[in-house]
Structure 1
Amino acid sequence: MQRRRFVKAGAGLAVGLPELMRPKVGSRVGGDYPERLRARTARLRRLDDVLGGGDTYRVYLGEYAATKRLLRDTTYTEHTGRALLSVLAEQAQQAGWAAFDGGQHEDATSLYEASREAAVDAGDAELAGNALAFLAYQTVNGDRQAGVDIASRSVDEAGPGAAPGVRALLYERLAWAHAVAGSDTETEQALEAAQTALAEAGSHRQPDWVAWVDQTELQIMAGRCWTELGRPLRAVPVLEAALAQYDDAHARDKSLYLSWLADSYLTAGEVEQAAAVTGRALDLASGVASVRPRQRLTPVLHRLSDYKALPAVAEVLDRTHG
């Protein structure tokens, strides 16, 4: 029932989707078309707020494929072609994210790589950097040093002239890569760079694909980083404060973020509190078409099993076997 509720909410977000007549094969694409297509892409991106990749992947992949056909089958000026390639790079990243969220990692990698190629051809350094940041986020769990290296390249590729929101996003993902690699100092430096960039964002126009990067998001990333580094005294306060402001409607993301809070409570020896937070995360993750909440909660539940004699823990563990 919960999943149906979120699918319905997602359908509501699609209402008012910008009208877009697809150009016919052999026709000429006008100069205003890329921005109309970008507006449609931005609207569809909102589906990711409430739906998992299992629900959105085919939608996003279909948009990407349609733009690829348009680039192949129509004519346009050089300027319009670069703008279309930039939109294509956005669409590939969104489809890649949905594939990653749905557990289709090979598809995600292929789409991120295609996105970077399109962004480079378009001369869009910000999107090229973000494609690398996505690749780093996917890579770091399997190869920590490679993840750090790719995340560092993402910052360099976007460059110091990138919009502040873009720099904040890339630096926070660099912080995450350093945290997974166990590097405290580098993590803190990257978080500070992200905070500095975010402080500039209010006075600059930002790409829509970084609209979700705000102070709450940065607090959550900081808390996640300190959790990964085994620093619960730093992690718990920022996660508690940020998640208190985070709407339950964002069920996938909130369940994920709660898993890090539960992890830090366990590291701090607050087992009952960890069990309570884990229970909330399980409630939110129920029925969401994403593999990631369960992947994140599995090791937390494993750690909790060491305390299964406690009633609060036994109740949560029993729910996972129901």
Structure 2
Amino acid sequence: MLRREFFRSSASAGLALGLPELTQLKTGRRIGRDVPEQLRQRTARLRRLDDILGGGDTYRVYLGEYRATKTMIQEASYAEDTGRALLSVLSEQAQQAGWAAFDAGKHADATSLYEESHQAAVESEDTALAGNALAFLAYQKLSDDRTAAIETAVQACRTAGPDAPPGVRALLHERLAWAYAVAGSASETERALIAAETALNESDGTPQPDWSAWVDRNELQIMTGRCWTELRRPLRAVPVLEHVLAQYDDAHARDKSLYLSWLADSYLTAGEIEQAAAITSRALELSAGVASVRPGERLAPIIRRLRAHHELPAVAEVLAKASL
């Protein structure tokens, strides 16, 4: 808790000093070819905040970056290729702001930012970012229209195309697998997971876009476990999640608490009540103080299911912890 509070306060102090640099532009000022790359590197550095902070802490920062770049595009002058590069950065920033909005529970804002990201990516002819924007939109649609979510996730893979970097293709096929899993389509889920693994196997060490660089074999294993949990196949889900989460750093508190929720879910499905209670207790500890609505949303139905076993000491303990 104290460590996350330190990161939050120190990050906010540092960013407050950096943000004005992007907003102090006079209308018509000429932008050089090096500016988009500088902005992209800045965006990559700021993305690291998402490793330790929730969207409730980062949304304002990421949205400010997006708006500053948008103002630059509207008011500065630049060569045509520089303009396309700026639009690509804008798309990337909109996705990051949209993700933070989603994590903070601001779903309308997230959808709007993903749509703006897609438009900017199309205008910049960045097919990888255009595909990723669609994948984010597919994720948003899952709660309301699973058919539309799958169609959008399929379109995301097609938009990025076979020439997209391996990490990008793996990420988009992972998200397609998740859409299929939520819809209950086991065979399609497995095919999408295999496609993601195939893409990762094609990686030759060439640098990937920073926004997809976090996708690796551990991430694929986590998504595999999540999918099999969603499909109510605990014998497949539990071993995968147990293995990968044993190596997962607690510093990534939000993400680890979320992934533990799927492990607890699978243990419940398998009838291993005490183990589910122990995992849920750990997830509650990790998520305390994280400015994200998602761990609570994920753990709430698990806790409701555990209440049916309130007579067990392990369950009574976690129910008491959840009520604090």
Aligned partner of 1:279 in structure 2 is 281
Q: 1:68 to 1:195 in 2, by over 3 A?
A: same
Structure 1 window deviating more from structure 2 (5-14 vs 115-124): it is: 5-14
Instruction: Provide the TM-score with structure 1 as the length reference.
Output: 0.96
Q: 1:252 to 1:28 in 2, by over 3 A?
A: same
C-alpha separation in 2, matches of 1:307 and 1:13: 48
Assess if the C-alpha contact under 8 Å between 2:27 and 2:75 holds in 1: yes
Structure 1 window deviating more from structure 2 (90-99 vs 6-15): it is: 6-15
Q: Tell me the secondary structure at the aligned position of residue 201 of structure 1.
A: coil
Aligned partner of 1:123 in structure 2 is 125
Aligned partner of 2:256 in structure 1 is 254
Aligned partner of 2:243 in structure 1 is 241
1:151 aligns with 2:142: no
Aligned partner of 1:84 in structure 2 is 86
Assess if the C-alpha contact under 8 Å between 1:17 and 1:44 holds in 2: no
1:50 aligns with 2:55: no
Deviations 1:135-168 (A, max 9, x none): 1111112211111111000000101110000000
Aligned partner of 2:225 in structure 1 is 223
Assess if the C-alpha contact under 8 Å between 1:129 and 1:154 holds in 2: yes
Assess if the C-alpha contact under 8 Å between 1:14 and 1:43 holds in 2: no
Aligned partner of 2:198 in structure 1 is 196
Segments of structure 1 that go 5 or more residues without pairing to the other structure are none
Counterpart amino acid of residue 175 in structure 2: R
Assess if the C-alpha contact under 8 Å between 1:26 and 1:74 holds in 2: yes
**Structure 1 residues 1-322: aligned runs within 5 Å:** 1-2=1-2, 3-8=4-9, 10=11, 23-322=25-324
Query: Following TM superposition, by how much is the alpha carbon of 1:9 offset from its aligned partner in structure 2, in angstroms?
Result: 6.9
Q: 1:62 to 1:152 in 2, by over 3 A?
A: same
C-alpha separation in 2, matches of 1:297 and 1:289: 15
C-alpha separation in 1, matches of 2:18 and 2:201: 32
Counterpart amino acid of residue 266 in structure 1: L
Query: Following TM superposition, by how much is the alpha carbon of 1:204 offset from its aligned partner in structure 2, in angstroms?
Result: 2.3
Let me know the Cα RMSD of the aligned residues.
1.9
C-alpha separation in 2, matches of 1:33 and 1:111: 23
Structure 1 window deviating more from structure 2 (193-202 vs 224-233): it is: 193-202
Q: Tell me the secondary structure at the aligned position of residue 203 of structure 2.
A: helix
Deviations 1:51-97 (A, max 9, x none): 00000000000000000100010100100000000000000000000
Counterpart amino acid of residue 7 in structure 1: R
Assess if the C-alpha contact under 8 Å between 2:141 and 2:148 holds in 1: yes
Q: 1:248 to 1:174 in 2, by over 3 A?
A: same
Assess if the C-alpha contact under 8 Å between 1:255 and 1:285 holds in 2: yes
Structure 1 window deviating more from structure 2 (26-35 vs 196-205): it is: 196-205
C-alpha separation in 1, matches of 2:168 and 2:196: 9
Assess if the C-alpha contact under 8 Å between 2:15 and 2:61 holds in 1: no
Assess if the C-alpha contact under 8 Å between 1:38 and 1:87 holds in 2: yes
Deviations 1:196-220 (A, max 9, x none): 1011224322100011101111000
Identity of aligned residues (%): 66
Q: 1:251 to 1:12 in 2, by over 3 A?
A: farther
Q: 1:166 to 1:12 in 2, by over 3 A?
A: farther
Query: Following TM superposition, by how much is the alpha carbon of 1:17 offset from its aligned partner in structure 2, in angstroms?
Result: 7.5
Assess if the C-alpha contact under 8 Å between 2:258 and 2:283 holds in 1: yes
Query: Following TM superposition, by how much is the alpha carbon of 1:37 offset from its aligned partner in structure 2, in angstroms?
Result: 0.5
Assess if the C-alpha contact under 8 Å between 1:13 and 1:46 holds in 2: no
Instruction: Provide the TM-score with structure 2 as the length reference.
Output: 0.95
C-alpha separation in 1, matches of 2:299 and 2:10: 25
Q: Tell me the secondary structure at the aligned position of residue 208 of structure 2.
A: coil
Segments of structure 2 that go 5 or more residues without pairing to the other structure are none
Query: Following TM superposition, by how much is the alpha carbon of 1:26 offset from its aligned partner in structure 2, in angstroms?
Result: 1.3
Assess if the C-alpha contact under 8 Å between 1:132 and 1:154 holds in 2: yes
Query: Following TM superposition, by how much is the alpha carbon of 1:245 offset from its aligned partner in structure 2, in angstroms?
Result: 1.2
Assess if the C-alpha contact under 8 Å between 2:228 and 2:234 holds in 1: yes
Residue-pair matches, total: 322
Assess if the C-alpha contact under 8 Å between 1:148 and 1:178 holds in 2: yes
Assess if the C-alpha contact under 8 Å between 1:18 and 1:39 holds in 2: no
